[in-house]
Chains A and B, each alone.
Chain A
């Protein structure tokens, strides 16, 4: 610790901005860790919390924040930290008190926010630092406008040019980037198993100062080989970003740029070569965001993002005629504004609006004509809008939760797709065309909770939504779906920590797939109305202090009403599911616990069209499982797991096809820590599976008999040994031996016609090592695997997994 501090101090002094000017000096933020005697989990939790706090807190105008940061500054200067201070800071960071100007991320419960974050996070770090998509959309939602409005496909088109360069590079870019004072890092990972070898390496550096300024750069390389196929994928990536916050006025600036190249060589074929694909994606983006609490009850956030992307791709194949080139150049702006209004405890209002417009230029030899020799196509700009409003109105103790959401999203975006006929089918796989897709979604949702008494609570919710999708060329994309969802539930609590919960919910979706533009198939057989409703109940009760019981049941009916017949008739179907069961958990003694689980489940499926009704069937399944754990001594443990199940499938219109499947299994594991270095694990598995017909003994007889068609009996023994050559996980010898014997018996007309015995096994021996020396960390696993499968192979494989990382 002191050594690291010295290194950072020297770096800081060399840069001339160290201790004499602590308020602007390079601050090794994540090195300020507690030095007291916290246990490892506590330490790790606090450290993780501390790492995830917003950066740039010292300049917060809030008194609490300033006080806390003053304490932090003193602690940093003195080099002494205590757990109380860290806990206090972590608590304040969690509550947002440390970062009033920039609202903390992901506080919204709108369904799109996660997708917004996911689509950008880890791909454009600069953008995230500014918070255009992550932090702001969480609270105010000013940013992320187009991503919000376009859902997954639109994300792919509009924001994916930024995403593409980093696909497959998640491992190569350290996630801690940007949280340190000055933190160069190197990471390399080698993963090799039977058929695949992957090598990932990255070199990254980040520079952060206490004001929140963050500069990051990362260089990554991925290579993957498939030995048996001769295929190869390689990608190289470079990304940089700069984030500059000015907290006093609530402004944040960001710039990010990246370049990614990917090449793929497909499986090698002896006769006719293979496919090669190469792509390059470039991104330059600049963002500015403003977020401020205008008055105590009013917050405002505004963001603007300008970006340029270039995606180029070429495909060549010596096997087929598939070859082509295409490139997409995108220049766009996105901006948004969000507001929160929190005037009273009984009302909180959030609203946001976002818009994005992207100009795109598509280039492909497919577009070349005498009138267009350059092969360029520039459709109308892709654009999207989103607006959402959320109102929370808790009405005292009686109605602690009542909220309403309203969201509207609209997008129109273009991309290059394979050329198609007017009916939407493929015209030529090697030719491209510009496709334009339009999406329009509306959603209204109301949720609430009602608590008239302490022992009774009820919840309710309703949702109305409409999603419309259409495309210029791909007519089968068309969909206009109107959806309704509702739920009502109640919970009764009674003495002895018991409770009864009942829920009734339902959905209805009216899905119109009839594209008015479709000439060849105007009536799409997927046009339908889906309805479902479900009733579920559950009783939880503590029988004693050490034993509890859970009884549950549910029934669900899902129905599909189709408008037009398909090639095999109407798709109308009714699925009725019902389940009734119970669990019993208990502690038998201080050393042993047991659990029993049993349920009956039914599944009735009816096809309503006579052309399909032959597949109608009813299933009934009976399951009982028990588990027993016995800690014989502190070093010796025994576990047993036993299960028995039986499933009857009745073919509605073919009684001779009724089947019965039954199985039981017993698994016993034994764990013995012989010494502080040596651990022994053994496992024995026994399984018996019977499959067969379950038919009438005689015509019109009420009695049915089981006529087996197959029986499989499996015995498996596994033995594992772990010996710590160097304790503390630094070097372990690991050996695992698994041996399986499987008896398969096939029956015909009730008589065994063949017995097949399959024996197989695997012996793995190797070393595992987790070594940490200062900032150097090595995790490695090397194993020699030999399989003993009589019918297949006796090959020996060496599996290697290794990760080396070094933080300077």
Chain B
């Protein structure tokens, strides 16, 4: 009887596991509001992960492009993305703010920054003036480390009358990539070291500082 009940419950539940159908994508030629997300390139190399991250941030498509660039992907793998702030960012944030900064918080931070920052974010630009293998790190086939300099420009329109303002962030970081054995590299660890020796503009701080400002 119990078995029958289980089977009946399962059968009854089957119908509720039908997902919605995805509609056909919009056509940018016929629909001026259509801005298709950038393609997600197969991350065969860490450089492609960097490109995917850049395109996800600039295209403001946290889901799925940014999400798929962070470990674990798929989500049942053991290694989980984590972020380590630079001292200045840690000092600016409330105590304990960066403790346990994992993939979930990183995605929420990006969603808040790019979709719900409370202001009119007009344009986002991200560049990587430096992206080289860390010579001091002994890589494996599955794990490697890069020295990264990045720059992020956020262009807002604020105030009344509206005025354009650009917030500029830059940092020097260590990025660990994992997934070489599957040829699906993802970003495992982002450690901000501090500001880069030189940058195209005066930065407010690193993206650690930006995380402290934005939340969650």
> Could you tell me which A residues sit within 8 Å of B by CB distance?
152-153, 155-157, 160-161, 163-164, 167, 194-195, 226, 228-229, 231, 233, 264-267, 269-272, 274-275, 277, 279, 311, 313, 315, 317, 319-322, 415, 417-418, 421, 423-426, 429, 456, 474-477, 488, 490, 492, 500, 502, 504, 513, 518, 520-521, 524-526, 533, 535, 537, 555, 557, 559, 566-568, 571-576, 603-616, 619, 652-653, 657, 659, 661, 663, 665, 687, 689, 691, 709-710, 712, 714, 716, 740, 742, 760, 762, 785, 787, 789, 791-793, 795, 797
Contact = CB atoms under 8 A, between A and B. Distances in A.
B131 interface: no
B133 interface: yes
Interface in B125-147: 133, 135-141
Closest 7 CB pairs of A and B: A267-B194, A264-B87, A574-B19, A606-B22, A156-B96, A424-B118, A160-B95
B112 interface: yes
A605 B215 CA distance: 28
Contacts of B39: 657
A691 B112 contact: no
Contact of A269 (B2, B13, B95, B195): B195
Contact of B204 (A228, A429, A613): A429
B64 interface: yes
Contact of B95 (A161, A270, A605): A161
B189 interface: no
Nearest to A742: B141
A481 to B, nearest CB: 13
Contacts of A270: 197
A557 B94 contact: no
B184 A194 contact: no
A557 B13 CA distance: 11
B91 A277 contact: yes
B74 A603 contact: yes
B119 A521 contact: yes
B35 A611 contact: yes
Contact of A429 (B60, B194, B213): B213
A537 B13 CA distance: 13
Given A425-B117, A477-B215, A689-B181, A153 B94 contact: yes
B166 interface: no
Nearest to A155: B96
B121 A606 contact: no
Given A275-B194, A520-B120, A663-B182, A614 B87 contact: no
B45 to A, nearest CB: 9
Interface string B28-53: 00000111110110101000000000
A520 B118 contact: yes
Nearest to A273: B195
Contacts of A275: 87-88, 194-195
A661 B182 contact: yes
A472 to B, nearest CB: 13
B3 interface: yes
A187 B120 CA distance: 54
A555 B15 CA distance: 12
Given A520-B120, A610-B34, A687-B141, 18 more contacts: A194-B136, A194-B138, A264-B88, A264-B91, A269-B196, A274-B194, A423-B118, A425-B118, A477-B215, A502-B9, A504-B9, A521-B116, A557-B18, A606-B19, A608-B22, A661-B183, A762-B138, A791-B133
Given A559-B20, A568-B60, A610-B34, A476 B195 contact: no
Contacts, number: 273
B115 A566 contact: yes
Contact of A526 (B36, B111, B141): B111
Given A429-B213, A520-B119, A611 B26 contact: yes
A709 to B, nearest CB: 7
Contact of B25 (A266, A322, A653, A793): A653
B23 interface: yes
B88 A277 contact: yes
A525 B111 CA distance: 9
23 contacts: A195-B136, A229-B194, A266-B88, A266-B193, A266-B194, A274-B195, A275-B194, A277-B87, A424-B119, A429-B205, A504-B9, A521-B117, A533-B17, A559-B19, A567-B114, A572-B20, A576-B17, A606-B21, A610-B25, A613-B23, A615-B64, A663-B182, A797-B136
A661 B184 contact: yes
B195 A319 contact: yes
Contacts of A161: 95
Contact of B209 (A157, A163, A429, A568): A429
Given A279-B91, A502-B6, A474 B141 contact: no
Contacts of A277: 87-88, 91
Contacts of B78: none
Contacts of A476: 112, 116-118, 214-215
Contacts of B196: 269
A365 to B, nearest CB: 15
Nearest to A281: B95
Nearest to B195: A319
Interface string B161-188: 0000001000010000000111110000
B95 A576 contact: no
Given A492-B3, A709-B42, A502 B97 contact: no
Nearest to B112: A476
A332 B74 CA distance: 47
A416 B202 CA distance: 24
B25 A557 contact: no
A19 B209 CA distance: 60
Given A229-B194, A231-B193, A421 B205 contact: no
